[in-house]
Amino acid sequence: MRRLFILFFVLSVLMPCTSCRKEAPIGPSTTVVVSFKAVYGDKPFSAEGLYAYPSTGSSTEIIQFDDVSLFLTDISLVTANGEDEVSLDDLEYWDITALQDNSSHTEKALEKAYYSVPLGDYTGISFGVGVGHEANSQKPSDFAAGSPLGAAERYSSEFGSYVFDKTKGQYSANGTTTPFEINILKDEHYKKVVLQKDFTITSSGGSLNVILDLKKVFQRNDSIMDLPAHPIVTNPGSPYMDWVSENLQHSFSF
């Protein structure tokens, strides 16, 4: 019996932790629908739209988006005690410009129903922008073709990382158009978003709506990204990648 106890003790010590998140106890549950939608400032967003670029100058500056897409990971609800989390989803790929592709689809969202969500009080929703370290240490050939991580175009072989967020388009001012591309990648640019708001899940279910404001990606207070001077941000060593990834982290609301 003593040997059996020692064996169990050793196994419990050596067994790796599969998640650092504390899971809320399961009891009565219901279905909750979570949606992610993009806007641009106070305007609806579509890939064919033209938007005023944040500017403190007098010239007319316009931005248009060809590709905006990103990974969302560890989507969870935060319980009322602020410590436990209800895990909803490990990973989703959100192709914003494919969903909100024209002016008729500005209200389309990445929407998914989650079943067996415990009833009770919650204080917010949390998720990561990017791909977690374990998956990001692998490459598309390590995943099934149907997996969001199995698409080669979402991976940078040059830097050995999935592209957490891609923002690509054109910036126009004073008759000159500049193509731009921003790729956020590598573990150090993975960001966790925690959005706080009290709500209650009852037996009738519910819906939660998360908004991404793309305008905020390019502006922080009075600081505005100079796109003509820095149209290509794809190297993880660039200080602009730090700046944009932090902006993206704070561009969500709930």
Task: Report the SS3 class of residue 142.
Answer: helix
Which is nearest to 112 in space by CA: 206, 33, 30, 37?
33
- This prediction has a pTM of 0.87
In this structure, are residues 187 and 133 in contact, taking their beta carbons and an 8 Å threshold? yes
Q: Exposed, middle or buried by CB within 10 Å (0-12, 13-18, 19+), for 59?
A: exposed
pLDDT digits over 71-121, tens only? 999 999 999 887 788 999 999 999 999 999 999 999 999 999 999 999 999
pLDDT digits over 172-204, tens only? 998 899 999 999 999 999 999 999 999 999 999
Share of residues in the chain with pLDDT > 70 (%): 88
pLDDT score for 59: 66
pLDDT digits over 115-158, tens only? 999 999 999 999 999 999 999 999 999 999 899 999 999 999 99
pLDDT score for 120: 93
Q: With a cut of 70, say whether residue 21 has pLDDT above it.
A: no
Domain extent listing, the chain: 24-127+164-253
Distances (CA, A) of 33 to 61, 102, 103, 115, 198: 37, 24, 24, 9, 17
